[in-house]
Structure formats: C-alpha cells, structure tokens
Amino acid sequence: MNKSPENPHIRSFVRRDGRFTDAQRHALESLWADYGVEPSEEPLDFTSLFGGRHAPQHLEIGIGMGDALVEMAQADPENNYLGIDVHRPGLGSVMQKAHARELKNLRVMSADAITVLQKNLPDASLDAVYLFFPDPWPKRRHHKRRIVNAAFAESIRRVLKPGGHFHMATD
C-alpha cells in the first residue's frame, strides 16, 4: 500500500510524471509564478491567491490536461477556479492554455487533493467542486484507491457552502 506516516490515506494516484513536452516544462518554469499555488500548512486565502479578487470560488480535483478547467474559467470569468492535480506535465499544459487565453481567474496546485481538503480548505469555503472521470481503478483489488468514498463525500460536504454544488462525471 502506498502510505506514509505523514500521509496515512491510501493514495488515489501513482506518482509518475512521465514525459514532459518542452512546452509543458517551459510553462511549469515560466508561468508558475502567475498561476501556481504553493502547498502550505495554512488555510488557503482565495482572495489573495487570485490577486485580491473576491469572487465565487470553484475547485476542480484531478484536472488532467486541464481542458475542462480552462473552458469553465473562460466561460465564467466572474468565478475563480482552482485546479489540483499531482501530474505535473498536465499542470504545465493547463498553465500554457490559461496563458494563451489570458485567463486571470485560474490557479493550479501541485498536490494530493485529499491532503488539501484536510489541511487547507475551511468549512463552507467553496461554491462548487468538480470531479471528472477520477478513478482509473476498475480492478477489485484496486478499489481501495478510488478517490470517491464516504470520507471523500463528507469532506466535500464540509467544504461546500450551503447551496453549493458538487458536479461529478464518471464512466
């Protein structure tokens, strides 16, 4: 099992960055200052993360290459969008796309979303949470790795504002 004393939950991912394209690596290096959110022990202060912009706060967990996040951020500029993933080439891609579209309402975090939910997201702090096609774990022996379980559902309930939305798509 992929556990450690600091992070005792079973992880829903295998940390494998794989290959970066030159553009993804360049984006990670050159655009992180604009779009990246550093891990912290403190609750996230969204207004300051988004350059003083106080707005409805949306979170996508497991953004992959970031296409959904970028589309949502462009379609709804009145909201702030934070995307979390552990796969750094994908984070490079989403920053490239956000930069090309000059999005000001998008940030990304390179982190285990379960840890962020536990450590950094206060009660009733989010207007919406998105989770799209999260669990590539069809085998029974891997079911324990699925991010969606009762504890996850309870975390989402806790961080959503009353009336907030959780939008999930899965196959």
Ligand X SMILES: C[S@@+](CC[C@H](N)C(=O)[O-])C[C@H]1O[C@@H](n2cnc3c(N)ncnc32)[C@H](O)[C@@H]1O
Which sequence positions are flagged as catalytic?
135
109, 130, 113: which is closest to 28 by C-alpha?
109
**64: contact with ligand X by CB under 6 A:** yes
Least Å from the CB of residue 46 to ligand X: 18
Percentages of the chain per state (helix, strand, coil), in multiples of 5: 35, 20, 40
The torsion angles phi and psi of 154, rounded to 5 degrees, stand at -70, -40
Q: Is 84 in the site for ligand X (CB under 6 A)?
A: yes
Q: Between residues 28 and 61, which has the closer beta carbon with respect to ligand X?
A: 61
Per CB under 6 A, the segment of 19-27, 43-51, 112-120, 151-159 that binds ligand X is 112-120
3-state secondary structure of 30: helix
* Contact (Cβ atoms closer than 8 angstroms) between residue 150 and residue 80: no
Q: Binding of ligand X at residue 147 (CB under 6 A)? A: yes
Which segment (49-57, 70-78, 107-115, 154-162) binds ligand X by CB under 6 A? 107-115
> How far, in Å, CA of 161 to CA of 171, rounded?
27
Cα(43)–Cα(45) distance, rounded to whole angstroms? 6
- Verify binding: residue 58, ligand X, rule CB under 6 A: no
Please, which residue, 64 or 164, has the CB nearer to ligand X?
64
- Tracing tokens 């992070």 back to the chain, one arrives at 7
Q: Is 133 in the site for ligand X (CB under 6 A)?
A: yes
Residues contributing to the site for ligand X (CB under 6 A):
12-13, 61-64, 84-87, 90, 112-114, 132-134, 136, 147
